[in-house]
Amino acid sequence: MPEAEIDSLAWIHVRDRRLLSVRTEGKAKFYLPGGKREPGEGDVAGLCREIREPAPGREIAESAWLSSADAHLCPPAGRRMLGLLADTGLVD
């Protein structure tokens, strides 16, 4: 059975060849800022809402600028994005 598709948004921000990632309190992995879209919500509105109003218990505790060498610090979506950005030469 195929996996269900999850409609989510992520802020992909690269600076100085590093990808912005965040971590919530008590978690070891860094993830891409963003979250799930509400029904009928547009990309920009949904992403702004997710960043402004994180879900309870998911407040951002730390941010970091990661390179492809830091992929082990990320869940699968972050590892995939770091790989894609490294393949295109946008991150180290």
The string of pLDDT tens digits covering residues 33-92 is 888 888 999 999 999 988 887 677 777 889 999 999 999 999 999 999 999 999 999 999
CA 64 to CA 45: how far, in whole Å? Answer: 24
Vertex 31, ends 26 and 33: CA angle to 5°? 110
Four-residue CA torsion sign, 5, 36, 82, 27: negative
Full-model pTM: 0.83
